[in-house]
Amino acid sequence: MSLIDTIKADLKKFFATNPVGQALEADAKIAWEELVNVAENDLKQIVEQMAEAALAVLASPAALSPQQIAAAAIAAGIDAAVKGFKAAGKDVTTQTLATLATTVANQVSAKAAVA
């Protein structure tokens, strides 16, 4: 078994047997069900707005700890998402907003670290 196969098997086991993994999977399923009802163009625009908001926080010169910066980037993403979904006329749960904002902020942060 390759390393990748081992990692995949371990992740499947984690999501199937661990309460944290099960909760993450449940949140992702709920988010998916809500987000598939949003027009693709609207969702793309919302994600771009979230990424811009998170990037603005990450690029700010504030003297914060990495945890504070991450939390601020996620909060900025949630704020942008709330505005974007309202503009699109869609109601999305707080959990889905948090899941989406965390994902976007993590991706922006990873790309900013590489750049």
Per-residue pLDDT of the chain (115 residues; tens, 9 = 90+): 688 888 888 878 887 888 888 888 888 888 888 888 899 999 999 989 988 998 888 887 777 888 888 888 888 888 999 999 999 999 888 888 888 888 888 787 766 665 5
Q: At what angle do helices 19-35 and 3-17 cross, to 10 degrees?
A: 90
Non-local CB neighbours of 105 within 8 Å, separated by 6+ positions: 50, 54, 70, 73, 74, 76, 77
Joined tokens for residue 79: 């704020």
pTM above 0.75, yes or no: no
How many domains does the chain divide into? 1
Q: Confirm if 1 and 10 have CB atoms less than 8 A apart.
A: no
Question: CA neighbours within 13 Å on the CB side: how many for 19?
Answer: 0
- What is the extent of the structural domain holding 21? 3-114
